[in-house]
Homo-oligomer: A and B are copies of this chain.
Amino acid sequence: MSFGESHGKAIGGVIDGCPAGVDLSVDFIQRELNRRRPGQSEVATPRREMDEVEILSGLFEGKSTGMPIAFLVRNQNQNSKDYTHLRELYRPSHADYTWEKKYGIRDYRGGGRSSAREHIARVVAGAVAKQVLAGYGIRIRAYASQVGNVVLTRPYSELELERVEENMVRCPDPETAEKMIALIRQMREEGDSIGGIVSCLIEGVPVGLGEPVFDRFQARLAHAMLSINAAKGFEYGSGFAAASMRGSEHNDPFVVRKGEIHTATNYSGGVQGGITNGEDIYFRVAFKPVATIMKRQKTVNRAGEVVELEAHGRHDPCVIPRAVPVVEAMAAMVVLDLLLEARMA
Contact = CB atoms under 8 A, between A and B. Distances in A.
A216 interface: yes
B304 A256 contact: yes
A70 B72 CA distance: 10
A342 B102 contact: yes
- Work out how many copies of this chain go into the complex: 4
Of listed A149, A195, A208, residue having the most chain B CB within 10 A: A195
A81 interface: no
B220 A250 contact: no
Interface string A200-238: 000000011010111110111111111100011111111
Task: Tell me whether chain A's interface is mostly helix, strand or loop, or mixed.
Answer: mixed
A275 interface: yes
Given A3-B56, A72-B56, A256-B300, A65 B107 contact: yes
A77 interface: no
Interface in A247-268: 247-248, 250-256, 259, 261, 263, 267-268
Interface residues of A, number: 134
A68 interface: yes
Contacts of A148: 243-246
B273 A114 contact: yes
Most buried by B among A16, A55, A239, A306: A239
Interface stretch (A7-15, A41-49, A153-161, A168-176): A7-15
Contacts of A3: 14, 56-58, 67-70
6 contacts: A9-B54, A21-B103, A92-B254, A148-B244, A195-B244, A246-B289
